[in-house]
Amino acid sequence: MKIAHNFNAGPCVLPKEAINNAIEALKDFNGTGMSVIEVSHRSKEWGAVMDECRALWKELLHIPDNYHVLFLGGGASLQFLYVAMNLLENKAGYLETGVWAKKALKEAKGLGNAVAIASSADKTYSYIPKGYTIPTDLDYFHITTNNTIYGTEIHEDMDSPVTLVADMSSDIMSRPVDITKYGLIYGGAQKNVGPAGVVFVIVKEDILGKVSRYIPTMLDYRTHIEGGSMFNTPPVFSIYVMTQTLKWLKEFGGVEKMYKRNQEKAAMLYNEIDRNPLFVGTAAKEDRSLMNVCFVMAPGYENLQDEFMDFAKGKGMVGIKGHRSVGGFRASLYNACPVESVQALIDCMQEFEKKHSK
């Protein structure tokens, strides 16, 4: 079997245990004689999966009882609209730290008064804005905690005088989170907790039902709370794989232990980027993401970009090409990315250095 060191930004690397369990469930789901993609979502067997998945979320992130955990379709991009539809009455504030934050702001502007409180667009989103003040007249303040394209991350849970909403698509479950500091957290599963096709939403019960607008049934969080995330047919296979992924994380030792490993993996690769004369990181050092390591060829070596890409592919590196909007390279070090793959990339960079150092 071909060896691939998977650094894709999403869909991303998943635990082999989760994949193998999913394969078995595709053939026979819990002894039902049916595949997991055939079984009724109203069956007791499927209900048990939903209950287990929800319980794992609450256990791993220590989610209080006054928060609901939802599993929805539509991707995080649809949540940009959900958030504004459910929470925006008078004014909303956004921290503009990248493409996805900008898109979230655009959707909110389509429904009402939404503004960027601070932005890092002036330096191509290479840092997290600081020194700004969150106005107290906002309905909510929206942040994107990790920026996959630019490799920046908000590393700590901030204090906010208004309801804090966070898109945590690409760093959820990678570090401990104080859920009580947030009114709502959402994200696509395909970065850290499962395959594409399902969105997680963690929402505090008392922030809902306060807008005067009509909310379409399918865009109302209360609809899905009341329906147990099964108002309509849920993305069953994606939820099943998510459940297996969270079981793997729990068996590993939970989020706290995973956070330490993620810090170690990121430090390994950033140390090599800083040491190797052929490469340079693109994000401000204090804001470097643990999940998405972005770098380019150093000045004087720009002409080697394509050669390094081909060289790395030949060594089994997959998905290290930077986003098309910024170029360069990006290695996504999500939870299931093994330390061995990070070391393999480092070895590849060092071997390439020996070929080209001046």
Q: Report the 10 Å Cβ neighbour count for 83.
A: 25
Residue with token string 């050669």 = 307
Nearest to 269 by CA among 182, 349, 204, 196: 349
Nearest to 243 by CA among 14, 31, 6: 14
**Distance (Å, rounded) from C-alpha 257 to C-alpha 222?**
34
**Distance (Å, rounded) from C-alpha 74 to C-alpha 47?**
21
**Distance (Å, rounded) from C-alpha 260 to C-alpha 178?**
17
**Distance (Å, rounded) from C-alpha 57 to C-alpha 226?**
18
Q: Which of 46, 57, 139, 191 is catalytic?
A: 191
**Distance (Å, rounded) from C-alpha 92 to C-alpha 113?**
6
Contact 190/148 with Cβ under 8 angstroms? no
Q: Report the 10 Å Cβ neighbour count for 22.
A: 20
Beta strands at 146-147 and 152-153: parallel, antiparallel or unpaired: antiparallel
**Distance (Å, rounded) from C-alpha 182 to C-alpha 284?**
26
Q: How far is CA 43 from CA 56, 110, 300, 330, in A?
A: 20, 40, 62, 42
In the residue annotation, 285 being an active-site residue is answered as no
CA-derived radius of gyration, the chain: 21
Contact 165/300 with Cβ under 8 angstroms? no
Q: Which of 46, 57, 100, 139 is catalytic?
A: 100
Q: Which of 167, 171, 220, 287 is catalytic?
A: 167
Write out the catalytic residue numbers: 100, 167, 191
